[in-house]
Amino acid sequence: MWTGWWLWPLVAVCTADFFRDEAERIMRDTPVIDGHNDLPWKLLEMFSNRLQDERANLSTLAGTHTNIPKLRAGFVGGQFWSVYTPCDTQNKDTVRRTLEQIDVVQRMCQMYPDTFLCVSSSEGIRNAFREGKVASLIGVEGGHSIDSSLGVLRALYQLGMRYLTLTHSCNTPWADNWLVDTGDSDAHSQGLSPFGQRVVKELNRLGVMIDLAHVSVATMKDALRLSRAPVIFSHSSAYSLCTSRRNVPDDVLQLVKERESLVMVNFYNNYVSCTNEATLFQVADHLDHIKNVAGAGAVGFGGDFDGVSRLPEGLEDVSKYPDLIAELLRRNWTEAEVRGALAGNLLRVFEAVEKVRDLTQAPEEEPIPLDELEGSCRTQYGYSGAPSLYHQQGLLLASLAPLLLCLWFL
């Protein structure tokens, strides 16, 4: 009996190798589509978006969670690059900043055509898979990037935006963010305002995915009920396992199931374990929980690489995805469930959003009410109640007329 004990470590090693090998086999033809990566913002912080700086070479880039060798090692075949502008740009230069970050993503594709293929459709993702490239898509992280303008929203769609996160960690004039649920922000719209509802309808019309990461629970429920297409949470985890309000509670997961929507699990330690430390196994727990509550079709990955300061042990960068897939296989996920989480679920949602798209339908045109806009530097052109400069000059002359008349008689 004692002679058999030495076999157990060997069996464990061989079993681990088996699951890792199986993960790589599956990922060779079903690579992972990650819902959220902040490398474009990191390139702004590190190099002021100067991609030709030799230190910014994505083949050798150091000090980041993401570079080309790491993407290849992690079998990343699709990436929604986050086009992010901080909340302090709201009512200031957010549109300019958003355009600059879109430009970074597009230049990444131009500079590294053997690695990245910029696409804007589900079929484009499949084409990139066939070519062995990383399908590169644009997700705009924060509704403040449209500056409360349906025209800006449509322009961003033309530039390639294929999901819009309705808020970041700040309210917009038309949607409430997750800090409302912590008490750190006041509720402004009680979810979605009437204009916020028009934003959702316009996103449906265009075929842009609605992203509910960062929004309040009321906003989640409003959008899930209003949208004619499935929605996504591009980088959120399960509230039942970590009670951060950035995560998705079980009653919302039930709505996710009903609406055939998708939660792409975030790897940030504080949203995984609610502490500064976390492990790969705890991330797998979140995936298990979402699968158990909302179904295997509701599970995806949104690592938030290069957007967070702390990542779980075993998931230190994008190269570690095969280890996470191996753990799911070890937990008896079927191959079909794994392939769905890797790519199939996102592709299903994207295709459903594209099916709802109707560019022949008249666009939403009613602007946000003037009194709901914020920011003291705004002009008021286009609002019928707002006098034009010419009209203001006329009013000034009219008000001066009695005084001029008095001066004439003097």
- Phi and psi at residue 309, to the nearest 5°: -95, -15
Residue tagged active-site, from 34, 181, 211, 304: 304
Query: Can you read off the two tokens belonging to residue 205?
Result: 């019309």
Residue tagged active-site, from 168, 188, 286, 289: 168
Residue tagged active-site, from 65, 144, 188, 214: 214
Query: Can you read off the two tokens belonging to residue 224?
Result: 């899930």
CA–CA separation, 59 vs 268, rounded Å? 25
Residue 101's Cβ-count burial label (10 Å; 0-12, 13-18, 19+) is buried
CA–CA separation, 403 vs 283, rounded Å? 75
- Residue 139 pairs in a beta bridge with 82, 163
The verdict on whether 168 is a catalytic residue reads yes
Question: Which uninterrupted H or E stretch holds 33?
Answer: strand 32-37
Residue tagged active-site, from 34, 65, 141, 306: 141
Q: Where are the alpha helices (DSSP H) in 259-385?
A: 269-272, 280-294, 321-330, 335-339, 345-356
The verdict on whether 365 is a catalytic residue reads no
Residue tagged active-site, from 65, 144, 188, 235: 235
Residue tagged active-site, from 38, 176, 202, 327: 38
- Phi and psi at residue 34, to the nearest 5°: -95, 135
- Helix (H, G, I), strand (E, B), or coil: what is residue 253? helix
The verdict on whether 36 is a catalytic residue reads yes
CA–CA separation, 266 vs 300, rounded Å? 9
Instruction: Name the CA dihedral angle for 347, 196, 160, 33, rounded to a multiple of 10 degrees.
Output: -30
Tally the residues of the chain. 410
217-226 helix and 250-258 helix, angle to the nearest 10 degrees: 10
The verdict on whether 285 is a catalytic residue reads no
Give 337-355 as a DSSP string.
Answer: HHHIIIIIHHHHHHHHHHH
The verdict on whether 235 is a catalytic residue reads yes
Q: What angle do CA 25, 347, 35 make, to 5 degrees?
A: 85
CA–CA separation, 71 vs 76, rounded Å? 5
Residues contacting 95, CB < 8 A, separation 6+: 145, 146, 147, 152
Residue tagged active-site, from 36, 65, 188, 286: 36
8 A C-beta contact, residue 44 and residue 101: yes
Q: Where are the alpha helices (DSSP H) in 114-192?
A: 122-131, 150-158, 179-182
Q: Which residues are catalytic?
A: 36, 38, 141, 168, 214, 235, 304
